[in-house]
A and B are shown apart, each in its own frame.
Chain A
């Protein structure tokens, strides 16, 4: 298959990724954590990012289905760059065992509940 890199889409994702990553960096700098302890900053970043992607996808399909760059910028870029799987995973290795298990579970469950809540709430509001 031949890839055709769509430059406006890639640029929107790249710019969005920068915004999202800087927001994550800002939150984790303002809310530092000692490695053996629960990383509340990254947990909060991931859970809020999942809530927002749920809301965003409903809004896009309802209001802006034709807008080509909204999903690349806000979804793939900003929220994709804001949330992080790698830090959430590597954090576990630097955390005390009981806290590590709690952090791993709380991130996964929190993320799933958040994306579900964001989707269901946005669907309920949009349907009114």
Chain B
């Protein structure tokens, strides 16, 4: 049953990551990977919120492990850092790496705080 919930969440989360990335990347021309940044920060906020409530195990499997897990990505994130660095954009690569980690942490904390407030 848990497997099915994780699968269901991921089946929605992964394509939503792709669609968000495309929509965001089509709307700016900077070299900064705002698309992946957006899904990673949004997913951290939502997961922080879910674990702050906290929710029932089945909902954590569906929305946490499945949806948030597949919505966010470390593989594309690291690939983008490497591409920026190899393309000579070392400052942008470092700003993207550190900025994402710090913004993700901030978003997760905000998610927990919102959960505690409701």
**Residues of chain A whose beta carbon lies under 8 Å from any beta carbon of chain B:** 1, 3, 5, 9-10, 13-18, 20-22, 24-25, 28, 46, 49-50, 52-54, 57, 72, 75-77, 79-90, 92-94, 104, 107-108, 111-112, 114-116, 119
Contacts of A114 in B (CB 8 A): 78
Known contacts A76-B18, A85-B73; decide if A21 and B7 are in contact (CB<8 Å): yes
**Residues of chain B whose beta carbon lies under 8 Å from any beta carbon of chain A:** 2-3, 6-7, 9-15, 17-19, 22-23, 26-27, 40, 43-44, 46-48, 51, 61, 64-66, 68-79, 81-82, 97, 100-101, 104-105, 107-109, 112
Please determine whether A90 and B47 come into contact, CB atoms closer than 8 angstroms: yes
Determine the distance from Cα of A120 to Cα of B46 in the docked complex, in whole angstroms: 35
In whole Å, how far is A73's beta carbon from the nearest beta carbon of chain B? 10
Known contacts A21-B6, A84-B68; decide if A10 and B15 are in contact (CB<8 Å): yes
Determine the distance from Cα of A74 to Cα of B76 in the docked complex, in whole angstroms: 12
Known contacts A21-B6, A93-B109; decide if A108 and B75 are in contact (CB<8 Å): no
In whole Å, how far is B2's beta carbon from the nearest beta carbon of chain A? 8
Partner of A83, one of B74, B104, B109: B74
Contacts of B46 in A (CB 8 A): 86
Determine the distance from Cα of A16 to Cα of B78 in the docked complex, in whole angstroms: 19
